[in-house]
Chains A and B, each alone.
Chain A
Amino acid sequence: MTPQRYVIACMILLLTWATPVIAAHAAAPDQTTRLWRLAAQEQAALEQRGVVLHDASLSSYLQTVAERLWKQVHTDLKTPTVNVVMDPRMQAYAYPNGYCFLSTGILNRVENEDQLAMILAHEMVHYLRQHTAALYDHFQMTSPITGLPYADQSRAAGELAMKQKIDAAECQADDEGLAILKAAGYCETEVLPLMSNLLNSLQDQGSAETVGRLESRIKTMKTRIGQTRNRVSCRSETDGDPDLFLNHIAPAMMANAQAALTCGDWNQADQSISKFLALKPDDAHAHYIKGEILRRRNDGDGKNQCIGSYLKALKIDPAFPSAHRALGELHFKAGRFQRAKPYFEAFLSLAPQDGTREFIKGYLRQCRD
């Protein structure tokens, strides 16, 4: 990553929901163009990493919520585009070109549409106020105190200035985001439960500085909630059916379970797949993922419990190849070769393109020997 791309990536990541800018002025046009180009490069890099979740129904739902909020904003800027990245960490960030990214990790912690709307409204303000551009612009300017460009100041002074700018931007994003939320008819009472939920998750992750910032924002938010005298009655699209919201974001929960499984975050993987299964108990793939979590976590009675999940997957879809393979492996490792054989044979016939075929053929040969 080039230094400039690194700077913009850092700025954008600092302007996230979970880790908490704004200047009254916008960046100079040429710098804005440059930032937008760099932002587009970063987005292309996310695509190249293969971590952007492409799910038409989820994208459509998120965009509907974003458009409802954006109608409350008077601006010539284009409506933000919401994307989802498959990452179990809690992240939400807005690029200066209007692309907002939510991680599956943050969606996993959101309980309803009002909470989702607050996260989106907050990120929209970062975009609307062009906080990244303002921050970038600020660090190109000369400090009246030192006479040096802000970017050339000592590390400590630079960090302090950066923190102050970020805190100011986060405060504005919370304030204006809350106003957008209410104007769009969403319930502000869901904001504090959302922030508490995010705080608990951050505490689990042990990020002391970020926790402190969020605690301070919660304190400020408590003074803001419920101050409006003539409150508009709130209503989300998913009112009346508590599962409707979860159904909308179900693809993100499945993706989060898989992403958390890949990086070995067993608790989050289990939490996401359990939520998904509560909604879709007849999903063979989800039962298989549950089995994989139990097996790979490799603690206590997980090895025996995972068999139940694999068998459920096969009961729902007898032609689900990965569950056949997993059961074959468990029997094979336990020395039950005759029981492993039919599962391996079924897997090989059902998954002619699978990358693990050569391994399974080898195990099967050993079963036959």
Chain B
Amino acid sequence: MSGLNINRPVIVVWVMAALMLTACAGPWNTAPVQLSEPHWSITSPEGWMHLNTQESEMLSKDGPYLEYILIQSRSLAQGFRFTRQKLGPDMLPHEAAQVIADNMRSDPLIRQLRWQASEPAMVGGHAGFRLIYSYQDPYGVTIKTIYYGVILPNQFFNLRYTAAQRYYFEKELPAFNQVFNSLRFVTDLSS
């Protein structure tokens, strides 16, 4: 049979990427070399785009449906979308990891959720956790995520890398590791 041998999920990925890039064209800007917030800073990968939302900072190279890095610092009191469990200041890293995992498990649109790792990790010099998981989105595309999280005095900081498992995840993993290693928290995190 002649013609391109492209299967359906790949087409879906490209169409979604095109749609999302178009939809998000406005607020996306070239990522600054140094991305800083009051409590933390990271070094952005070269050639990536940056989107600032109310709740998080997002970086992407090929469009967020293909890959993105999300950095978020949120109040411990803030609730989650799919679970009513809350994070607390006295939680051990794995207890916090469990709340994040339970929120994922309660998402009705996620299929074939597979946990590949749940382990302790130092996040910006603080004891936190690392989750690695994959799932199928509603379009049947397998997405893989590395999620670092840490409970800080008044907030929950998380830094995650999410990408289409096929091709993109491995391709931009070094860029994410570079971002992760560049993470710095300011000295006084209590305010």
Q: Do A and B bind each other?
A: yes
User: B108-126: which residues lie under 8 A (CB-CB) from chain A?
Assistant: 108-113, 115, 118-120
Give a binary string over B89-115; 1 marks a CB under 8 Å from any A CB, 0 the rest: 010111101000010011011111101
Q: Are A49 and B110 in contact (CB under 8 A)?
A: yes
- Given A50-B113, A329-B92, 9 other A-B residues pairs in contact with their CB atoms under 8 A: A1-B109, A263-B106, A298-B88, A333-B90, A356-B118, A358-B118, A358-B119, A362-B120, A362-B127
B14 beta carbon closer than 8 Å to chain A: no
Residues of A at under 8 Å CB distance from B?
1, 45, 48-50, 262-266, 296, 298, 329, 332-333, 355-356, 358-360, 362-363
Task: Provide a sorted-by-A list of 6 A–B residue pairs whose CB atoms are within 8 angstroms.
Answer: A48-B111, A48-B112, A262-B83, A263-B102, A358-B119, A359-B119
Minimum Cβ distance to chain B for residue A87 (Å): 9
Q: Are B120 and A359 in contact (CB under 8 A)?
A: yes
Interface Cβ pair total, 8 Å cutoff? 56
Hey, which chain A residues are within 8 Å of B118, CB to CB? 355-356, 358-359
A266 to B83: give the CA distance in the assembly, Å. 11
Minimum Cβ distance to chain A for residue B156 (Å): 15
B94 is contacted by which of A1, A265, A359 (Cβ under 8 Å)?
A359
Minimum Cβ distance to chain B for residue A192 (Å): 32
Q: Are B84 and A264 in contact (CB under 8 A)?
A: yes
Minimum Cβ distance to chain A for residue B125 (Å): 15
Q: Are A264 and B92 in contact (CB under 8 A)?
A: no
Hey, which chain B residues are within 8 Å of A332, CB to CB? 92
Across the two chains, which residue of chain A brings its CB closest to B97?
A359
Give a binary string over B41-67; 1 marks a CB under 8 Å from any A CB, 0 the rest: 000000000000000000000000000
Candidate in B82, B85, B112 with the most chain A CB atoms within 10 angstroms: B85
B176 beta carbon closer than 8 Å to chain A: no
Q: Are A359 and B92 in contact (CB under 8 A)?
A: yes
B129 beta carbon closer than 8 Å to chain A: yes
Q: Are A329 and B106 in contact (CB under 8 A)?
A: no
A359 is contacted by which of B83, B93, B110, B113 (Cβ under 8 Å)?
B93
Give a binary string over B31-44; 1 marks a CB under 8 Å from any A CB, 0 the rest: 00000000000000
Q: Are A263 and B84 in contact (CB under 8 A)?
A: yes
Q: Are B106 and A262 in contact (CB under 8 A)?
A: yes
Minimum Cβ distance to chain B for residue A211 (Å): 21
B26 beta carbon closer than 8 Å to chain A: no
A56 to B86: give the CA distance in the assembly, Å. 35
Q: Are A264 and B85 in contact (CB under 8 A)?
A: yes
Hey, which chain B residues are within 8 Å of A296, CB to CB? 85
A363 is contacted by which of B92, B97, B115, B129 (Cβ under 8 Å)?
B92
